Amino acid sequence: MIAGMEKRTRIASVDIMRGLTLLLMLFVNDLNMKVAPAWLGHMKAEYDGMGLADWVFPGFLFIVGMAIPFAISGRIKKGDSVPGILLHIAVRTISLLIIGVLMLNSGRVNPGTTGMHKDLWALLMYVSVFLLWNDYPQGRHKVLFLILRAAGVAILVFLAIIFRSGPTDDPGWMITGWWGILGLIGWGYLVSSLIYLALRDSVTGTAIAVLFFLAVNMLDQKGLLGFLDPLRPVLGIIIQANVPLIVLTGMLAGILLRRMKDSGHERIITLFVTLGFISLAAGFILRNWFIISKILATPSWGMICSGISFIVFAAIYWLADVRGLTGWAGFVKPAGKHSLTTYLAPDILYHAIWMSAVPILFYKQSSEPWIVITGSIAWALLMAGLTALLARAGIKLKL
């Protein structure tokens, strides 16, 4: 009886939207954009507009923010101390930053000076990530799992030591750069989690935090924060403010969802759709001063993406939590439940395929857009299936 009640009170739309954004991410990342229609991909930095791929990542950031109030309040309810929660936030953030930087640098390997094929380096790196951050079962085989984690650490240290990005006379090493996708998530998660821990479920306080980072994003875009340049090599994502803005907007949505759980579905949907249109309007007003650009991380782009996310979530919420229609989303359940595994596992296959030179990804070579699109859809769905199989085998990442 209790299990059934928990199942009914869980907000299905959060998991479904997380899974959908992840599958879309796999889809757009796999597309051969030389053949696929331009509107499916990323627009160039100076282009004033956006394609599907320009919303997918901020859509995921939005749902990262939505999950924060539920996750941290759950830890508080279980009796976790504030120092314990801070430690969890720190470990999770550092883990995301490390993996993000490793992924960012995997494409910079110089085989000649590194002494290893770049695909092999990347393959070993991803395998090590799974060894180190896998969610091993409790109970038996503790020593074995400890050995596996230690092996993951040892291989990552070895790969870091031998890494070279340039020629012998200027070998170079790893860079933090833009921190990679997971690194961006890490910075946004850190800022938003700390703000939630300080303000808890305060709608007013969180709304002020959203407006603050929107203002900082605008100031940065206008070049008025040059005095913070010495801090940019480490804190650049926070200073740029766009990623925290989007995550915080999602966190505001999560807080509203928690606080309005007894107010009725109609009020929740009405509020989310209203906030969606307000965010869209703000984005298009800001377009008068800032072009819509994902690459440049403009405030107009951030607000438009948050507006889309509010409305998309409201639609999924109506279908899944109001109408109880969740069967259609069964194929995204593995991705929603094991998001990090879903995102990283395909890269292991990519590098293995590239090393083998077997034309498994033949659809990418087609000149027909429908073949390219169909192939990438199939790839994304297969990766969701792979995640489910890996989870059954006890392979599932957890930070």
Contact between 225 and 219 under an 8 Å Cβ cutoff? The reply is yes
Task: State pTM to two decimals.
Answer: 0.94
**Would the pLDDT of 203 be above 60?**
yes
378: in domain: yes
pLDDT in tens, 117-166: 999 999 999 999 999 999 999 888 899 999 999 999 999 999 999 999 99
Phi and psi for 289 in degrees, rounded to 5? Answer: -120, -25
Contact present, 107 and 98 (Cβ < 8 Å): no
Residue 178 in any domain: the answer is yes
Alpha carbon distances (Å) from 104 to 44, 90, 277, 341: 20, 21, 35, 17
d(CA 386, CA 96): 22
Q: Is residue 250 part of a domain?
A: yes
Q: Determine the 3-state secondary structure of 221 from DSSP.
A: helix
The whole domain housing 50 covers: 2-108+174-392
Asked, for residue 155, whether it belongs to a domain, the answer is no
Instruction: Round to whole Å and give the CA distance between 246 and 62.
Output: 6
Max Cα–Cα distance, the chain, nearest Å? 69
Average pLDDT, the chain: 94
Report how many domains make up the chain. Answer: 1
Task: Supply the angle between the helices 118-133 and 142-162 in degrees, to the nearest 10.
Answer: 150
**Partners of 134 in beta bridges:** 397
Exposed, middle or buried by CB within 10 Å (0-12, 13-18, 19+), for 1? Answer: exposed
Burial (0-12, 13-18, 19+ Cβ within 10 Å), 21: buried
Is a pLDDT exceeding 70 seen at residue 68?
yes
Residue 9: the pLDDT is 54
DSSP character for 361? T
pLDDT tens digits along 312-370: 999 999 999 999 999 989 889 889 999 999 999 999 999 999 999 898 999 999 999 99
